[in-house]
């Protein structure tokens, strides 16, 4: 087993490591260590600093870190990358913060709502948010049912209230992978966000906002391509 590679998987809103339950075994089959993190999302005392603490604690002394931040996890992942020897940071359908900007301010500052409504109008959908049609439209029925059976995870507003604390993006190689069918963060919106805030281009793959649930094998293949391009061996073991 090639334990020099550790995938650290940070979920989005709700903070549940279960989001990665279809991805984690596929990465382990390829010989990698995997840490899927549960965040204290339901704790009103916990902000992004506490989220980062949870990730750092879960990682422990592991090395060869590939950090993957999904959606809201894009606010936490760079805080972790500033504290641990991360070799690669992958943003997945992610929010990209600016120094001093709160998570709550991000929505208006980026124009997310207008972008999502434009996409909905083009697709002939209502612009009003609805969980199943916006998030689970491409997730297999049995997977969606398994997620819903766990109940709706709590998400405190605390992480959205405080300014993002870093002075700039950490000096870590960063890739941005975006589902081209994402209805919450449309691909053209994400393309602009990545260029304006990070100065990088996005890579696209099929799938909506929850690609770890809808297309885990293809997601793993994309992550592995990033790993190889970053200088690790093409084959584990």
Q: How far apart are CA 64 and CA 231, in angstroms?
A: 11
Q: Which residue has the tokens 């885990």?
A: 216
Residue 237: per-residue pLDDT: 38
DSSP secondary structure, 80-140, as one string:
HHTTS-EEEEEEES-----TT-BHHHHHHHHTHHHHHHHHHHHHT--SS--HHHHHSTTS-
Report the percentage of the chain scoring pLDDT > 90. Answer: 93
What fold characterizes domain 6-229?
Rossmann fold (3.40.50)
pLDDT tens digits along 27-62: 999 999 999 999 999 999 999 999 999 999 999 999
Q: Mean pLDDT in the chain? A: 95
Tell if the pTM clears 0.85, that is, is over it.
yes
In 3D space, the residue among 184, 183, 182, 233 whose CA is nearest the CA of residue 205 turns out to be 182
Residue 236: per-residue pLDDT: 39
């Amino acid at each position: 087993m090639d334990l020099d590679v550790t995938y650290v998987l940070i979920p989005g809103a709700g903070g549940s490591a279960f989001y990665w339950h279809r991805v984690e075994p596929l990465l382990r089959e390829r010989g990698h260590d995997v840490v899927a993190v549960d965040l204290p999302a339901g704790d009103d005392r916990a902000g992004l600093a506490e989220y980062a603490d949870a990730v750092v604690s879960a990682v422990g002394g592991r090395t060869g870190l590939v950090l993957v931040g999904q959606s809201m996890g894009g606010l936490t992942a760079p805080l972790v990358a500033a504290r641990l020897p991360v070799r690669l940071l992958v943003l997945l359908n992610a929010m990209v913060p600016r120094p001093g900007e709160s998570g709550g301010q991000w929505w208006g500052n980026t124009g997310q709502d207008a972008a999502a409504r434009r996409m909905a109008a083009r697709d002939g959908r209502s612009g009003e948010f609805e969980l199943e049609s916006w998030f689970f439209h491409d997730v297999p029925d049995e997977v969606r049912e398994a997620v819903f059976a766990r109940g709706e995870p709590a998400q405190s507003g605390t992480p959205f209230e405080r300014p993002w604390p870093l002075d700039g993006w950490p000096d870590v190689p960063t890739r941005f992978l975006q589902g081209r069918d994402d209805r919450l963060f449309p691909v053209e919106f994400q393309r602009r966000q990545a260029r304006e805030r990070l100065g990088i281009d996005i890579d696209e793959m099929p799938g909506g906002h929850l690609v770890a649930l809808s297309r885990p094998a293809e997601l793993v293949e994309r992550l592995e391509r990033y790993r190889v391009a970053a200088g690790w061996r093409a084959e584990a073991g």
